[in-house]
Amino acid sequence: MNKTYLLNSKSGQQIYESVRDLPIIDYHCHLSPKEIYEDKPFNNIGEMWLGGDHYKWRLMRAFGIDEEYITGKADWHEKFLKYAETISLAAGNPLYHWTEMELNMFFGIEEHLCPENAEEIWNKANAIIKEKQLSPRKLIKSSNVEYIATTDDIADSLEYHEKLAKEGYEVKVAPSYRTDNLLQIRRTGYADYIAKLSDVCKYPINNLETLKKAATERLDFFKAHGCKMTDVGIPDFPDRIWDDIDADKVFTAALKGKMVSDDDYKGFLGNMYRFFGKEYESRGLIMQWHLAVWRNANSTLFKKLGADCGGDCMGDDIAVSSIIRMLDAIESDSGLPKTILYSLKPNLNAQLCSAGGSFRNVVCGAAWWFCDHKRGIEDQIETIAETGHLASFLGMLTDSRSFLSYARHDYFRRILCEKIGKFVDDGEFDGKQAEKLAMMISYSNIKSLVEDK
């Protein structure tokens, strides 16, 4: 891979040199703490690349590859060859860039993957995997990762976080407090989930008071295990706030399997969002809202493979007025915790950034998921610069289950530095401050938020 890949200006190249080797703080990802702890060497690049990576699964489906070669019973070699066929023609897709970067960074392979060289690359990569016994921790170390925030349900035991900490693992692996399952009271199996949470807490959860008691106890448990980040990423967003009496009625009705109306659901959510905002602020935790997503759009695929199989997509627009009112309600009630807003709909980003700028502690996050391609990252940088303050940007995260995905941080840094370099070359920004700005965004801003104080 060319050293100046995605860097077309001398200024961009110079700025990039100042951040290229900075450590990585991955403050939102879906890596498995169990896999990190067990640290089992991978058997081949097919398993390493395609096992659980729904980004690649979606691309292969879009290209018409049969499911047998995606999540089916075909062997890893066959699946790898199908992926090679897929990626070779995926012009403009970020996976094309990431595939090239991952092959180069982890295997020293310079060629573009295609059907003609797929067998050669399969053999070369597998020889390196075998020789170096490449495993999750070795990939993390070679990527210069300093901090990992996994995404964990609030009922999780965190046993592997405990084991990693007890072992003294050099990389900080911290849990993130994710409330999706707690909040989705209309989801099939919700009562079973609350029963599970009751078992964890060792008392029955049968009303709003005990629900909030359980939530705060689990929050303290997470914080004791190093939690700095919290998160929610459900399709709905509250447009009203029920008081505790009405929210309790909604919750107990849901537990009994009764129908909950849209209005009641949104009112319950509003009550819980305000509650969580207060609890996060009092503990100094960071609140992340992932917005405008639709989960498990393909119900047939979901029934066959479960969640996180590549069936999620952009959802409906969320009224920014509702987001503003919720931010204001939390601010008025307890003060806002540090809050990061992400939208899966790029058309909402300018509104979110301008809304966030009305509150001291609210910023827009990295271009999320379907937006973290070259144009999406460039647009996000420009939007934050134009409507907020670029020096407050918290930079890149992987949002991934793949241990090779740390190449995305280098991808982001190249795009960021080229963008700042263009500001400099166009006479729109002082070049003396360019490296400092790039360093803040790439590392020091998020470092200051997650480090122990």
Token reading at 159: 């046993």
Sorted by sequence, the CB contacts under 8 Å of residue 444 that are 6+ apart come out as none
Asked whether residue 1 carries a pLDDT value surpassing 80, the answer given is: no
Sorted by sequence, the CB contacts under 8 Å of residue 269 that are 6+ apart come out as 183, 236, 237, 238
For the residues 140-146, what does the mean pLDDT come to? 98
Token reading at 342: 């992400």
Residues 424-447: pLDDT tens digits? Answer: 999 999 999 999 999 999 999 999
Mean pLDDT estimate for the chain: 97
Residues 50-79: pLDDT tens digits? Answer: 998 999 999 999 999 999 999 999 999 999
Residue 225 is predicted with a pLDDT of 98
Q: Which amino acid is at 269?
A: L
Asked whether residue 93 carries a pLDDT value surpassing 90, the answer given is: yes
Whether 204 contacts 210, CB under 8 Å: yes
Tell me which CATH homologous superfamily contains domain 41-134. uronate isomerase, domain 2, chain A (1.10.2020.10)
* Overall CATH class of domain 10-40+141-450: alpha beta
Q: Phi-psi category of 206—alpha, beta or left, where left has phi over 0 and alpha has psi -120 to 50?
A: alpha
Residue 452 is predicted with a pLDDT of 81
Residue 52 is predicted with a pLDDT of 87
CA dihedral for 267, 269, 270, 271, sign (positive or negative): positive
Confidence bin at 41 (pLDDT 50/70/90) = very high
Sorted by sequence, the CB contacts under 8 Å of residue 91 that are 6+ apart come out as none
d(CA 364, CA 278): 20
Confidence bin at 353 (pLDDT 50/70/90) = very high
Taking Cα atoms as reference points, which of 160, 176, 174, 166 lies closest to residue 34?
Answer: 160
Q: What percent of the chain has pLDDT over 90?
A: 99
End-to-end CA distance of the chain: 40
Indicate the angle between helix axes 118-132 and 94-107, nearest 10 degrees.
50
Residues 8-40: pLDDT tens digits? Answer: 999 999 999 999 999 999 999 999 999 999 999
For the residues 169-177, what does the mean pLDDT come to? 98
The domain spans of the chain are 10-40+141-450, 41-134
Residue 178 is predicted with a pLDDT of 98
Angle, CA 72 vertex, CA 405 and CA 398 arms, to 5°: 15
Angle, CA 44 vertex, CA 42 and CA 47 arms, to 5°: 75
Residues 243-259: pLDDT tens digits? Answer: 999 999 999 999 999 99
d(CA 214, CA 217): 5
The pTM of the full predicted model, rounded to 2 decimals, is: 0.97
d(CA 304, CA 36): 27
Whether 384 contacts 393, CB under 8 Å: yes
Residue 223 is predicted with a pLDDT of 98
Sorted by sequence, the CB contacts under 8 Å of residue 350 that are 6+ apart come out as 383, 386, 387
Confidence bin at 2 (pLDDT 50/70/90) = confident
Token reading at 217: 């106890």
